Structure 1
Amino acid sequence: MAVFCDLPEEVVTEILLRLPLESLIRFKCVKRSWYALISDPAFVAKHLRLHHCNNYNKVSSSPSLFVRYLRVNSLLRREIVQEFSILNLVNDDDNGENGRVNSVVENFELPVIPGGKSLRLVSQCDGIILLAHLEANIALLWNPAIREFKVLQNSCFPDGFVILGVGFGYDCRANDYKAVRIVSSVNPNDGNHSRAEVYTLGTDSWREIKLHIKVGFIPGDRREVYCKGAYYWWIQNHIRTNMILSFDMCDEEFHEITVPVNVEMAEGMPSTLAVWNDSLALFISPLQRGVSKLIDMWVMDDCFGGVKRFSWTKHLVIETPSGISIPVAFWSSDELLMAKTYWKSDQTGFHTEMLVSYNLHTQKVRNLPICGVLPGSAIAFSFVKSLISVKGGTNPLQRL
């Protein structure tokens, strides 16, 4: 009787490609040829494409989100801690009729690095997550699935600048991953207040690039996102006008995008950028007594007849149930992760939230097993585990 190792190499490859990442990590230890195959960049890229497609289309895979939120650790007398989890939505037969979603939560802990407690989740692409500490000028690439991380060093602007915003994405032309950083001079006599640099993973180096826009403020936290080869920030320019700034990972060019009509006048209204069906989506949430009642969802079309242009279409208006606040992220075309606020203070003296799943078509709200979240602290991105190396190292993990 034939054994697995007697199968033709191309058959073994096809079988391994269909296995989950956790199995492949274990199978690296089986034999040297398997280690070489599973580590090969071509195999890694093909495995990612296959499982990303399955994840997006919900074929033999569960939609996943990488979620970061803040929680009060009552055991340590109100010390605020960050939690990082992968939230997997499991399709079930009762479709959540019991008011809950069948889901699996997988918790992760940050690598141990200086300033790690203050690292902010920024974005992810192909299973690689960018975290940053803007005040300490620290940027970190982290693949939690293979527990590998890399601190991005040797910035072009080490002193005399403050970091306004960072982003991360994939350059399909160069087949490489890039981080971009926007900084501002602390010297009031510097005529060019906003400058930018880009980091390329393949060369492990930063270089300055042109930025013709004066950036005043980038709020971050649900107001920035990576989508289809470009990174987007909701910003205020130097004259305090709301707009969206985009960065093309291939061309390494910045573009100014006006927000939908009348939205720029919505001072103080919560806004969220998200990815919906491979398009940039914008949520505007007018508040009534601290809670959003109606949420406008706008979708951007970024190309007309092959010419790079930007236009917005109002896709729908969501009338949220009581207690539902700002949208967090999509994890499928019709399921939206949102936060539900409990206005009753707990023993720590803080109002708290729980995460829920809201269906745009059925308008059903289903509870998720994450609660006790500090209001407004949840950030999430669609996520697929990958074998892509950030060309860094690993270390023992501890809770920060």
Structure 2
Amino acid sequence: MEGRDGLSMKRRAKKPSDLPEQILGDILCRLPVRSLVRFRCVSRSWNSLLSSHAFIKAHLKRSSELHAYDLVKFNDSAKSRLVICGVSSNEIKSLGDCCLLDQKIFQRFDLIDSCNGVLCLSTFQKDSPGNSSIILYNPSIREYKVLPQPSSGLSEFIGFGLDISTGYLDDLKIINVKLTLGTYPNLSSKVEVYSARKNSWKQLGDVFPMRQTMFLGKQVLFDKYICWCPYARLRCQVFESNLLMYDLVRESFSEMVLPSTMPLEKKYVMLLDGFLSIIACKLRSRCYDVWTIKDFSIPESWTMLYTIKDATNDIFNYRPLGSTCSGNIIFVRCFSSEQGYGSPKDLVSYKRESGWFEDLNLEVDSFYSSRLVRYVDSINFPSY
């Protein structure tokens, strides 16, 4: 009913475009990414709001708190795949084929890491490095960018992270380390760093600490550092290795000395409950020791948390991929055969509370081609 001095309820109701931008932004921030992608087409003002740094940051913060996933990359007989591992269960959910996987050149790739909803992929091929690529990819919005080639050529040793000093979520950086092999230890390196905001490579020179080996394992992002845990072995002898770190702000390498009580055998670096952690192989005891560092500024604060064993005393059939949002540790399990460790290989989840391994019902082709990263839905992507 409409009065003389009033307006009808229909006329009083505000259109979404009439809402204050702060209120509109708060409403849109609660919506899934796919809806936000569609809403960019509503109007120029909506597109401007949804593309703003403030909105992307607010949406990412909320998504990180409510919608963090464990993303698993693996290879099957045909191509590389991405799946989501359930947070509260052992459910495996396909991420779905994306624009990358529809193209023949991107059917096989390595997943370097995930940062603020953006994945870094590499299609490096030893036999054909010139045909290899580095790709930045956001599967939530299905956008990707093939990076320009570094001047020294693409390497299999790539690092990926975020320069947190600038405050921009898309200030992503990739390091490419090209090693020139000679008679050990006469080795040299060409290190280049790519800035997503500048869309260009910068040469850093021969700055890679050559005392390290090429067997660095998978990286972990922690604060402003890319971290690796090298595996130093020469002529069947195991040598003490330090934690290798790359500072994304200062663009420099450094090393952290690990405790002498930590096993010398192969180590795997990961994040566990938000802390940088290491799973150390202990050959004589046939187990894994789980270590963590609570204060990164104090190298002496490394602490051994617990030990992982297998009831069949066959723990080295398991190789750790990383930890999940719920604190479980995912392993690639290999079954022994007369020829050694052969197929099939599958993923299992180790639950600390029970001390048992549970099947995830997902078969992979190898430990080395598999990857576990933390992922959040985001509309973040570098703009050029």
Q: TM-score range by the shorter chain?
A: 0.7 to 0.9
Structure 1: how far apart are the matches of 2:354 and 2:14? 49
Counterpart in 2 of 1:10? Answer: 22
Q: Cα deviation per residue 1:75-133 (whole Å; 9 max; x = unaligned)?
A: xxxxx5322223332x3xxxx6xxxx345432344356685345321111111111221
Alpha-carbon spacing, 1:149–1:280, altered in 2? closer, same or farther (3 Å):
same
Counterpart in 1 of 2:4? Answer: none
Q: Which amino acid aligns with 2:325?
A: S
Counterpart in 1 of 2:244? Answer: 245
Structure 1 residue 315, shift from structure 2 partner: 1.6
Counterpart in 2 of 1:107? Answer: 96
Structure 1 residue 358, shift from structure 2 partner: 2.5
Counterpart in 2 of 1:397? Answer: none
After superposing the two structures, state which structure 1 stretch, 331-340 or 167-176, moved more.
331-340
Q: Cα deviation per residue 1:372-392 (whole Å; 9 max; x = unaligned)?
A: 222424311111121111347
Q: Cα deviation per residue 1:33-77 (whole Å; 9 max; x = unaligned)?
A: 2222112222112111121133xxxxxx4x411211122x3xxxx
Structure 1: how far apart are the matches of 2:196 and 2:253? 20
CA contact (8 A) 1:276 1:333 kept: no
Counterpart in 2 of 1:374? Answer: 365
5 Å matches for 1:22-61? 22-54=34-66, 61=67
RMSD: 3.3
Q: Which amino acid aligns with 1:144?
A: P
5 Å matches for 1:124-143? 124-132=114-122, 133=124, 135=126, 136=129, 138-143=133-138
- 1:276 equivalenced with 2:272 (yes/no): yes
CA contact (8 A) 2:287 2:308 kept: yes
Alpha-carbon spacing, 1:200–1:35, altered in 2? closer, same or farther (3 Å):
same
Q: Which amino acid aligns with 1:14?
A: D
Q: Which amino acid aligns with 2:21?
A: E
5 Å matches for 1:173-252? 173-174=165-166, 175=168, 176-186=171-181, 193-209=188-204, 211=207, 213-214=209-210, 217-219=213-215, 221=217, 223-235=218-230, 242-252=241-251
CA contact (8 A) 1:164 1:184 kept: no
Counterpart in 2 of 1:146? Answer: 141
- 1:317 equivalenced with 2:322 (yes/no): no
Structure 2: how far apart are the matches of 1:186 and 1:113? 34
SS at match of 2:215: coil
Structure 2: how far apart are the matches of 1:343 and 1:241? 29
SS at match of 1:383: strand
Alpha-carbon spacing, 1:178–1:273, altered in 2? closer, same or farther (3 Å):
same
Structure 1 residue 231, shift from structure 2 partner: 0.2
Structure 1: how far apart are the matches of 2:75 and 2:120? 18
Structure 1: how far apart are the matches of 2:233 and 2:152? 21
Structure 2: how far apart are the matches of 1:147 and 1:310? 43
Structure 1: how far apart are the matches of 2:311 and 2:185? 49
Structure 2: how far apart are the matches of 1:311 and 1:318? 21
Alpha-carbon spacing, 1:278–1:200, altered in 2? closer, same or farther (3 Å):
same
Structure 1 residue 241, shift from structure 2 partner: 5.1
Q: Cα deviation per residue 1:143-185 (whole Å; 9 max; x = unaligned)?
A: 1211111222141323xxx735111111111232111122212
Counterpart in 2 of 1:298? Answer: 291
SS at match of 2:141: coil
Q: What's the TM-score once normalised by structure 2's chain length?
A: 0.79
Counterpart in 1 of 2:81? Answer: 83
Structure with the higher fraction of residues in strand conformation: 1
Counterpart in 2 of 1:260? Answer: 259
Alpha-carbon spacing, 1:190–1:296, altered in 2? closer, same or farther (3 Å):
closer
Structure 1: how far apart are the matches of 2:150 and 2:305? 41
CA contact (8 A) 1:215 1:237 kept: no
Structure 2: how far apart are the matches of 1:375 and 1:212? 29
Q: Which amino acid aligns with 1:329?
A: G
5 Å matches for 1:328-367? 328-342=321-335, 351-367=343-359
CA contact (8 A) 1:70 1:374 kept: yes
Counterpart in 2 of 1:123? Answer: 113
Q: Which amino acid aligns with 2:213?
A: F
